[in-house]
Amino acid sequence: MVSDESIGGRTVISKTATILMVYLGGASHSLTEIAAVTGLPLSTAHRLVREMAFCGLLERVDNREYRVGFPLRAIGAAARGATDLEAEASLVLQDLSHTLDADVRFGVLRDEEVEYIEKPAGRRPISTFGQNGLLPAHATAMGKALLAFSAPETVRRLLLCGLRAFTPHTVTAPDRFRHALAMTRLSKLAVVRWELEVGRSALAVPIFGLDGHVIAAVEVRVEDPAAEVSTVYPALTVAGRSLSRQLAYANAACQPRGSYTSLRSGAPIRQKS
């Protein structure tokens, strides 16, 4: 256990630093473990950990434990020269959100749903994959951008399960849905208007890997897709192409051709041929 002397002057900064030192070995820890290792009262550890999670320094995982948040992981990755695709995507989202003053998302396909990170407009911090739930691919712009360039079997499985209507505007008819995907393939732009939530619309572009497979999508929230496409689409396209290049170059340097780093764990993911 860390002694009171080792904690220093017991200032907020020293207590925060002591909590972060717990993660030198990696992994995740519960509040009880953090309090025990640092020697802090449980109530103090609870308050500080919650504040650190709110700022993004820590993030809560499913088992009620906390792990190091994205900003610190990004700093660590830069220091050791490691490739972190989540970090690469987050940098692009930061720039895109600032440029358009809009909510932006980066999503990857997980079966028939989309796992994503999000940068809200303004000064709010970017989220991580561990913070967000899954979104239905058929009712989101980033999901349609992914499905449009996925294997036909993926779309077929989705249609066999049926398309759930979240609002009166959700496209659920198979022929209309296939038409929407065909238009996305032609334009490389997915458009969704009020399909998941009434009042929420979005535009999205796909991101491709070295072998031409779609690996992710970037989405921007808009009020009126038709009116804003001329403004949003150029910035969205630049961001998508930039991220495609960054991910391709980063992975080409450290992975066999056709292999990409997991956005969550850093482990290689073999793309289907």
Which pLDDT does position 259 carry in this prediction? Answer: 39
**Of 101, 221, 214, 212, nearest to 148 (Cα)?**
214
All structural domains of the chain with their residue ranges = 4-68, 82-270
Count the Cβ atoms, other than its own, within 10 Å of residue 254. 12
**Of 209, 258, 257, 188, nearest to 85 (Cα)?**
209
pTM of the prediction?
0.65
Per-residue pLDDT, averaged over 107-124, amounts to 90
Contact 14/8 with Cβ under 8 angstroms? Answer: yes
Q: What average pLDDT does the structure give for the chain?
A: 83
Model pLDDT for residues 191-248, shown as the tens digit of each residue: 999 999 999 999 999 999 877 889 999 999 999 999 999 999 999 999 998 888 877 6
Cα–Cα distance between 244 and 74 in angstroms, integer? 19
Model pLDDT for residues 236-254, shown as the tens digit of each residue: 999 998 888 877 665 554 4
Cα–Cα distance between 227 and 27 in angstroms, integer? 46
Which pLDDT does position 249 carry in this prediction? Answer: 65
Q: Tell the CATH superfamily of the 82-270 domain.
A: GAF domain (3.30.450.40)
> Is the pLDDT score of 137 beyond 70?
yes
Which pLDDT does position 252 carry in this prediction? Answer: 53
Domains 4-68 and 82-270 equal at CATH topology level = no
Model pLDDT for residues 163-181, shown as the tens digit of each residue: 999 999 999 999 999 999 9
Which pLDDT does position 264 carry in this prediction? Answer: 40
Task: Please state which CATH class domain 4-68 belongs to.
Answer: mainly alpha
